Structure 1
Amino acid sequence: MPVVPSWLMTPLWDQFAALLPERPRVDPSHPLGCHRPRVADRLIFEKLLQVLRFGCAYESIADSGCSATTIRNRRDEWITLGVFEQLKAIVLDTYDRIVGLILDDISVDGCITKAPGGGEVAGRSPVDRGKQGMKRSSMVEARGIPLDRVLAGANRHDSPLLASTLDKLDVFGPLPEKVTVHLDAGYDSAVTRELLAGRNLHAEIAHKGDKAPIQAGRRWHVERTNAWHNAFNRLQRCYERRERVIDAFFDLADAIITLRSLIRQAWTLYRWDNRPTRRP
């Protein structure tokens, strides 16, 4: 069963491979020149996609050609080099140049998922009988393209995470003159309004006590993006314990979501010689 379709896998791997440093297939320092060949980067990348998509253990996808230790070591090597973060930034920049990010309307919301193994960003979940859980404060633009996120324990409230989440907007350079932040009733407080006013951001916050369908507004984009993230089982039920590893998987998932939206929207907006006859 393919993790991602070929029309998505090919450009994703091409860009990822371009970010990897050159490595000899066999260690040249070996005295006999017969050191065990290095496992291909493409194979490791596909294994990590399987972990992300299906949520399986590293030992479950290891085989005679690639051990679980090799997968973890290569993953950590790429994280140290910042490859996943660069991939996400490049895909997001490409989307902005071809389609365009709509930063006039931004949505932020928290989402609680399971973290059975605990870890650096885990805490007692208030919605899962006190079991270990993780919260992500996600920020998306008007079409639901994920911009960034902040990870915390499931016992953290959404509102205190808003400031650190909005800090992620700094990397996007000059923002539109009027930016509206759409929030649910969990952020309905004077503290939140003062925070947004101090950043020259307009607030569109649902009122506590009012029914959600009446005041849904444009928050549904972030809810849909949360569903996109939860389609990756490694993010929905996270066994990773280190924050930087979880962030790397989120960056990879964000790159997939953004690239998928880019290809589908480009099919409608542009024409080229080998353009598919059907929308992907």
Structure 2
Amino acid sequence: MPALPSWLTTPLWDQFTALIPARPVVDPTHPLGCHRRRISDRTVFDKLIQVLRFGCSHEAIADTTCSASTIRNRRDEWIKAGLFAALKRIALDAYDRIVGLILDQIAVDGCITKAPGGGQCAGPSPVDRRKQGMKRSLMVEGHGIPLGRVLAGANRHDSPLLAPTLDKLDDLGPLPADITVHLDSGYDSGKTRTELAGRHLHGQIAHKGEKAPIQASQRWRVERTNAWHNAFNRLQRCYERREVVIDAFFDLADAILTVRSLIRPAWTLYRWDSRPARRP
């Protein structure tokens, strides 16, 4: 069973392979003039998607085509080159050109997941008997497309993570003059309102003590995106210990979600010669 359908992995790979710097298949500097052939980048890319989607270890997904060490080494090589962040940025730019980002409506929310292995982004979880957990403070636009996130231990409160999360807006270029930030009651404080006012942002914040249906707003989109992220088992139960690796997996997941959200509305907005006969 494939981790993702081919109509989604094909455009992802076509863009990702254009970012990979050229390298010889056989090392020309080998002293004996020979060397084992380099494992195909496509094979490693498919293995990383399987690790992200199924949440299995590198050893469990390794086989005769690619070892676990090769998967980890190639992953670290691509992280160092910034390829996963570049893939996410390209996918976001493509979505903005074809469909359009709704940047005047932004939602931010936190989500706690398990982190059994501990690591740089882990802390005692207040909802899981103080077991190791990770919190992500996620920011999305009006359609629910992920714009950025901040990783922290599960014991961190949502409110202090708001400022570094909103800093991710600086990477998006020109912004609308009037931006509304939708927040839940965990951000209902004078400090949050002061932070938003200092950034010239309007806040629609749920009040503590009032039931959610009475004050429901557009926060459901960020909650839906958090659910999309948790469908990737590597993010829902994270065994990675280094923050750069976790960020890389999140960037890959964001690119997948963005391209998927791009293809579906583009089906009804545009026509192209090679469009499949059935809607994905």
Q: TM-score range by the shorter chain?
A: over 0.9
Shift of 1:33: 2.4
CA distance in 2, matches of 1:67, 1:198: 51
Per the alignment, in what secondary structure is the counterpart of residue 149 of structure 1? strand
CA deviations over 1:112-143 (Å, ceiling 9, x no partner)? 00000000010000000000000000000000
Per the alignment, in what secondary structure is the counterpart of residue 261 of structure 1? helix
1:246 correspondence with 2:252: no
Query: What's the counterpart of residue 161 of structure 1?
Result: 161
Query: What's the counterpart of residue 104 of structure 1?
Result: 104
- Structure 2 letter corresponding to 1:244: V
TM-score by structure 1 length?
0.99
Structure 2 residue runs without a partner (length 5+): none
Shift of 1:201: 0.2
CA distance in 2, matches of 1:268, 1:143: 16
1:73 correspondence with 2:70: no
Query: What's the counterpart of residue 122 of structure 1?
Result: 122
- Structure 1 letter corresponding to 2:204: E
Per the alignment, in what secondary structure is the counterpart of residue 84 of structure 1? helix
The 5 A counterparts of 1:1-280 are 1-280=1-280
Per the alignment, in what secondary structure is the counterpart of residue 130 of structure 1? coil
Per the alignment, in what secondary structure is the counterpart of residue 272 of structure 1? coil
CA distance in 1, matches of 2:57, 2:41: 19
The list of structure 1 runs, each at least 4 consecutive aligned residues, that deviate by more than 4 angstroms after superposition, is none
Which one is further off, 7-16 or 26-35? Answer: 26-35
CA distance in 1, matches of 2:244, 2:262: 26
Shift of 1:71: 0.6
Per the alignment, in what secondary structure is the counterpart of residue 100 of structure 1? coil
Shift of 1:275: 2.0
- Provide the alpha-carbon RMSD of the alignment: 0.7
Which one is further off, 95-104 or 30-39? Answer: 30-39
CA deviations over 1:78-105 (Å, ceiling 9, x no partner)? 0000000000000000100111000010
- Structure 1 letter corresponding to 2:147: L
CA distance in 1, matches of 2:174, 2:18: 29
Which one is further off, 226-235 or 171-180? Answer: 171-180
Shift of 1:273: 1.7
- Structure 1 letter corresponding to 2:196: L
Shift of 1:215: 1.1
CA distance in 2, matches of 1:273, 1:69: 42
